[in-house]
Amino acid sequence: MSLKIAIQGIESSFHHLAVQQLFPDKNIELVPCTSFDKVAENISCMNVDLGVIAIENTIAGSILPNYQLIDSCNLKILEETFLTINMYLMALNGTTLHDIDEVHSHPVALQQCKQYLKRLQPHCKIIEGKDTASEARRIKENNLKGVAAIAGKQVAEKFGLEILGKNIQTIKENKTRFVVIGRETPLTTSKLNKATLKFQLDHNIGSLSNVLQLLSTFGINLTKIQSFPIEGKPWQYSFYVDVLFDNTTLFEEVTILLRKAVSQLRILGIYKQNLENAPSTLAQIPSYEKY
Ligand SMILES: O=C(O)C(=O)C[C@]1(C(=O)O)C=C[C@@H](O)C=C1
């Protein structure tokens, strides 16, 4: 039986590569979507088994609306993976850099190549489009002369486009963290040691520091903290945090105490930390698994 997985974008986009990296041995039926909202919608109405969405990138930072999407659609993070992202500039065969007057790509992909793109401006227009692969496909299908796309190497191979620039992302070690999202946490035998939590805090002195103190007292390592404005409550924020723990009982105890210290605590997912292909700096953070 195949596993139906929704992604934003089409075949050969980076989301597709992330699915292949996450499920190398599974028979996958890919469900391409035009937006992250559509991915979540497909999961909620049971059209697909799972979704895979980008959540942060080394250069572009967090894709904050995706945290909010997981929360508002009541979905759970089930797994994470890091994908190496190398960007290429591509166009129809026979095109040179001098012929290009438009570059199209996914907004996050364009952001990752900002420095390279500066060299092509002002004569070249930079245009935000759909996913990387769709933009490249459009050039091929419509025989668009003078138009280039930024995408992965696999996209140039798939659509028979010529590569005009290699590894054009600003920072060479460029990685995107993707998460698998679903309706509920599956039963798993592997040791779960990471969680993503969301909560709100009042504007009281020390409210955030109390939370951080609590986590540290219980030996829980905070690997990420992100704030996001609360809709309808101007200048008030929700906090999204990633934590690592080695003892599930202690983690459960700390969540009980957290519930008293914060409002609207939600556990967006408890999963296994995935250090395979993680950015080198992240791999240096002590992992409880090593002990
Ligand atoms: O357009 C694609 O190929 C995507 O998979 C999208 C996306 C993103 O959403 O961040 C995925 C990974 C890269 O960081 C750039 C773009």
- Quickly state the pLDDT bin for 289 (edges 50, 70, 90): very low
- Quickly state the pLDDT bin for 67 (edges 50, 70, 90): very high
CATH of 88-165, one of 3.40.190.10, 3.40.50.2000, 3.30.470.10, 3.40.50.150: 3.40.190.10
Mean pLDDT of the chain: 93
Q: Which atom of ligand 1 is nearest to the CA of 109?
A: 15
> What per-residue confidence (pLDDT) applies to 276?
86
State the pTM of this model.
0.93
Instruction: List strand residue ranges (DSSP E) for the chain, in order.
Output: 3-8, 28-33, 50-57, 61-62, 76-84, 88-91, 102-105, 125-128, 147-151, 162-165, 175-182, 194-200, 221-229, 237-244, 263-271
Question: Is the CB–ligand 1 distance for residue 169 below 6 Å?
Answer: no
Share of the chain above pLDDT 90, in %: 84
Give the whole-angstrom CA distance, residue 204 versus residue 79: 34
- State the CB neighbour count (10 A cutoff) for residue 12: 23
ipTM: 0.94
3-state secondary structure 193-262: CEEEEEEECCCCCCHHHHHHHHHHHCCCEEEEEEEEECCCCCCCEEEEEEEECCCHHHHHHHHHHHHHHC
Greater confidence (184 vs 151) lies with: 151
Question: One fold for both 88-165 and 194-281?
Answer: no
3-state secondary structure 254-277: HHHHHHHHCEEEEEEEEECCCCCC
- Quickly state the pLDDT bin for 1 (edges 50, 70, 90): confident
Question: Is the CB–ligand 1 distance for residue 13 below 6 Å?
Answer: yes
> What per-residue confidence (pLDDT) applies to 291?
35
Query: For atom 14 of ligand 1, which residue has the closest CA?
Result: 176
Q: Which atom of ligand 1 is nearest to the CA of 83?
A: 12
- Quickly state the pLDDT bin for 165 (edges 50, 70, 90): very high
Task: Please tell me the CATH code under which domain 3-84+174-182 is placed.
Answer: 3.40.190.10
> What per-residue confidence (pLDDT) applies to 42?
98
Q: Could you report the per-residue pLDDT of 107-140, keeping only the tens digit for each?
A: 999 999 999 999 998 889 999 999 999 999 999 9
Class of domain 194-281: alpha beta
Show me where the domains of the chain are located.
Answer: 3-84+174-182, 88-165, 194-281
Query: For atom 1 of ligand 1, which residue has the closest CA?
Result: 131
Q: Flag the least confident range among 12-21, 78-87, 136-145, 200-209.
A: 200-209
Q: Could you report the per-residue pLDDT of 201-237, keeping only the tens digit for each?
A: 988 888 999 999 999 999 999 999 999 999 899 988 9
Average pLDDT over residues 11-20: 98
- How far is the centre of ligand 1, averaged over its atoms, from the C-alpha of 41 (Å)? 19
Share of the chain above pLDDT 70, in %: 95
